Structure 1
Amino acid sequence: MSNIISQLPADFAALEPFVAKWALGTSKQRHLARLNSTKEELQAFYDAILPEMRHLLAALDQYPLGSLSEELHKLYWLSLSFAEIAPHIELYKGSVGVPYAFEETRFVYETGDVVNV
């Protein structure tokens, strides 16, 4: 018997392995997670969550803006991480960065933090 406590609603148990890496509460955290991932990690997350997106978004859409239940916050953050990495799978052949663009490590966040990878 496992001692791991589920962090997602039962309908989304298949996404549980991705919670630690991708259920991140800020855009900065999600951006850095993408930059610090491998092509294979991006693809694995994309492949796991894509078939669940309609069901996932329908579950989130049951709540008015700003009133998401605590149980669904991690699911919401997973959906935001999907939005962060989808272009990298669909348009950039799995590249963690944006090909032929400025190096993302040159960008500075509003807090003054430089992106470090």
Structure 2
Amino acid sequence: MTDTITLPAGFEDLTELAAHWARATENARSAIRWSASAQDFAAFYTAFMPRLRTALDLLEQIPLDAMDAAQTNLFELACAFAEAAPHHELYGGSADVPHSFSARRFVPGHGDTASRL
């Protein structure tokens, strides 16, 4: 991400979170998640959870292939949140999933492709 990341109007206060968490691919988001601390997960959750419904309401109105850069950044932030929230809600802030194989052992069959359909 660059220092000039943008988000749609009304979400500008989440720019710092987007700069850290929002990535176009699952692999890139996973790398961020695997290095996150319990404090990172808690801060992300606390900041984004109250805004999730509003973000999804906006995003569901826009086809993926019609999103501008700001909307794409918000979409990628929402994807990152969906993947990170269980670490706060269920795993005590651990970057690893308890009682499971390390996610780093899995090799995605789809490669490192962008999240657009």
Deviation, 1:66, is: 3.1
Give identity over the alignment, percent.
Answer: 38
Q: Which has the larger radius of gyration?
A: 1
Return the letter of the residue paired with 1:77: E
Taking structure 2 as the reference length, the TM-score comes to 0.83
Question: Which ranges in structure 1 are unaligned for 5 or more consecutive residues?
Answer: 113-117
The RMSD of aligned alpha carbons is: 1.9
Question: What is the distance in 2 between the residues matched to 1:5 and 1:106?
Answer: 34
| Alpha-carbon distance change, 108 to 20 in structure 1, aligned in 2, over 3 angstroms | same
Question: What is the distance in 2 between the residues matched to 1:109 and 1:83?
Answer: 18
Structure 1 residue aligned with 2:42:
43
Taking structure 1 as the reference length, the TM-score comes to 0.83
Q: Does structure 1 residue 31 correspond to structure 2 residue 27? A: no
> How many residue pairs get matched?
109
Larger RCO: 1 or 2 (CA < 8 Å, sep 6+): 2
Q: Does structure 1 residue 9 correspond to structure 2 residue 8? A: yes
Structure 1 residue aligned with 2:99:
100
